[in-house]
Amino acid sequence: MGSFVPRVLPLLVISELAFCQLPSFRCDSAASPLANCPFLTDTHTPSEQEMSSLAPGDRSDRGSGSPERQGPNYFVSPVSNTAHENFHWGRALFESFVYFSIAQAYVVKDDYRWVVVENGVPFNHYWRDYKQSLNAWIHSGWDDGDPKLYSYVGHPNEGALTAFIQIQNDPQGRDLEIANTKAYWWSRFKAFWFAAAYSTQWSIGPLSELTVEKYGTQRRHPWTHAGTWPCYQHCVAGVGQVDLVVTPVAGMGWVLGEDFLDKNLTRRLEGHTRNLFAIDATRCALNPIRSGANVLHGKRPWYRASRDAHEVYFGKHAITP
């Protein structure tokens, strides 16, 4: 036994070294080793001529379609295609409702006296007030009386955030970075209409500013552009077409802008440094609306579904033969 170990141990070490010399140099730098390394995933099915040259016993082992019986010339079975992942409607609607509730809470805080103007009861005379508000909205024109900061900055932010909610719940679009491809533009087109639907609900929907804060009703009298009462001409009632149009259109422009900055500035930084604080801070600073959508999605503000900062850095500095 004492002489057995010194004789066998070198053989074991040599066999390990020999195994490590398998031709994997091409696979070591491959982005997807199992897809690019044929000696690992070769599942060649023998042709009829090859089958005819085999003994009957061998044919049963190699003719099967299962990975376990397709021959000995592979080490790891290939990864099978995963099932198709559909759009996460439940999650998208939940995140939209959470955002809607936060926005409504902010508005109700300022307009609470109008919310309970009907005998101190919210939604009192709901259908009567809703019809009055819709009629006022139809005849109101473009301006709703809000400051320009709200209409042309705040509402585009709303449109961008709801578009990002759609994107992060869409398996076909959440990993895409800005590019002139059909897949990218189709993804953002769907996000645009999701934001438009949210904007419509917020502006004139059955649970909107019209029904909660009673904009455009007879009980809430029009006011001047300065926000004073009474008003006799050039009055505003808090309703107008501006938000319905600007929210999704300018919001999608905001999304495209953040996509552009994320790919051309943030990704470039990720390729030059491994300082995670600098990377995370840059991601949040250049993509503030996406960061808010990430929080609603249960992720960190600097989260990116399309990449990892370390992968970008090592990918850029990888030594290629």
- Positive or negative: CA dihedral 100, 101, 107, 108: positive
Q: Is the pLDDT of residue 290 over 90?
A: yes
User: In terms of Cα–Cα distance, which of 284, 286, 283 is closest to 273?
Assistant: 283
Taking 90 as the threshold, does the pLDDT of residue 205 lie above it?
Answer: yes
pTM over 0.75: no
- Cα distances (Å, whole numbers) of residue 114 to 108, 117, 149, 212, 229: 9, 5, 23, 9, 14
* Distances 143 to 114, 157, 176 between C-alpha atoms, Å: 21, 18, 36
Q: Residue 87 carries which DSSP code?
A: P
Helices (H), 169-319: 182-204, 209-212, 242-261, 267-270, 276-286, 288-296, 309-317
Residue 78 has pLDDT above 70, yes or no: no
- Calculate mean pLDDT across residues 157-167: 97
pLDDT of residue 317: 65
For 298, residues 6+ apart whose C-beta sits below 8 A from its C-beta are none
Q: What is the mean pLDDT of the chain?
A: 79
Query: Any residues with CB less than 8 A from the CB of 76 and at least 6 apart, and which?
Result: 34, 40, 41
Q: What is the mean pLDDT of residues 27-43?
A: 46
